[in-house]
Structure 1
Amino acid sequence: MGIREQYYTPVEFAKLFNIDKQTLIYYDNQGIFTPAFKKENGYRYYSAEQIVLFSILLSLRKLNIQGHLLAEYNKNPSNDKLTEMLKDKIFEYNETVESLSHKIECLHAKISSIQKSNNLPINNIMLIPHHQIYCQRSAVIHENTSYKDALLASTPLISSFATNLLTHQLQLSFMPVFKNLSDLSEPHQYRIVLLTNETKLFTNPLEYPPALYLTLIIEGAFRQNALRYITLMEEFMDKIGLTYKPLAFITPWQTFNCFENEKRKLTKIELNVSYE
């Protein structure tokens, strides 16, 4: 019986599975599936006994079984090995399903958050990038101390602010001490801080690296309705996928409308945030 009667050429064997012969050559080079016979001139030949085995390997490949696992099965094909591979793939797919289910839940939560925040006053909320911030700050101040009393007790810091206010861009703010954003709805400790972007204004200043700040402008004092403002910020962050760090600045100031002879007390809340 001649070799042509016992074996298939790569082209003939590939036609049985409606694939290109290059796929067979690739599998051979990767050690996944080798010909039954190679002649001295390098021509490959596949046997009829390999048809069933290659059918199994192709079906496993369609299930995204990795090449090295296919090679292991090709070397020692058995029902036990095949069952083990399929069970491992089921476990992998179950993990994928759980991960996708969690992502779907997150997407539904995002949709719900967006629908709930349709009336969010976006014009009052901004995302503002800050350059490097240099800071001088007071000691921690007791949570029951009013801002006014704290300022009166921080004479050296306030004097520095007053001296440099006209010649340097300084910001006088209050920096709350907190871990969770909800802490700000209750009485909390804080510091008085002087903030600037100028490197040489302070000696040995505390430095905060460039960052993004969620900035909320409100009318009146933050403490008067802190829970509402915290809820607005949380909804906004959830809506666009932001997380926060426990770093914030609260800056009261007032504006004067000379046409209406009216003063307005405003507060700026700046919260250090980043994208998830």
Structure 2
Amino acid sequence: MNSPDEHAERFTLLRPLLFTIAYEILGSATESDDVLQESYLRWAEVELSAVRDTKSYLAQVVTRQALNVLRSRTRRREEYVGPWLPEPLLLAPDAAADVVLAESVSMGMLILLETLTPEERAVFVLHEVFGFEHDEIAGAVGKSASAVRQLAYRARGHVHARRNRFGPVDTARTGELTDRFLNAAATGDLDGLLSLLAPDVHWTTDSGGKAFAVRELLMTGATRVAVMLVTLMKAIHRLPDTRIEQVHCNSDPAVAIYRGERLEAVVVLEFAGGKIVNGYGIRNPDKLAALGVTRVISRTAESPDARG
């Protein structure tokens, strides 16, 4: 008979990996926490002597639970007010050191993964990011290994044809550019902003209909975005007890806007070639609630199996 401590020890050792799997499938830290809680309850009932590979076993459990959540979202997503963005994840700057991990949790990649079917998304994440074999993934998604291989091929082609990242993220460089961006927006320096924005920059604001947001929730073009940012920053600075902090979300530089101790908004900036190509503004308070803690993510871990 296994002790509860042994179940907890194995699960805790793999928790960063398991959380990352759930988050990349769901794009929500809150739902990922719920998935891990439900997965642990199931894990606590397992006879450990029957588990040959704890890492593979738990990855399958977490994936199945995440897929259940993802499939149940369809109606809620249809009723969502305005554009939907993933729930931002507060990370330490060194999270960008693993290039594959950094890209896989970037806001742009998570949005791209939304265009896949639930099964394609799970297969892509498990195979391309975490390196699980097709036969391991088969048990998680309820498909044969050959069907998983086809799903992986289709998902990989779809993602590679649409992603626009160019090389690893230079954290120091993007931090400097973010400082310039904030200074230009705060001082009303349109020329300074235009020098930092790609000509076809896209700006998306997700309020979920639950918070005030800019009138146009989807905006394209450097001039329009620059004017909007200057206007917005003027309005922010007129409000009492506001402060703006530079943070790191989803492997990208980000800006957190507070009123007192309340987090009002997070803006995630996506750079390519030294220019901002996408801005993601999250105003929905439900998506900001879990942003108070820095998360630990991982795509590698030794399987913590007991050795006889």
Q: Shorter-chain TM-score category?
A: under 0.3
TM-score normalized by the length of structure 2:
0.20
The structure richer in strand per residue is 1
TM-score normalized by the length of structure 1:
0.22
The structure richer in helix per residue is 2
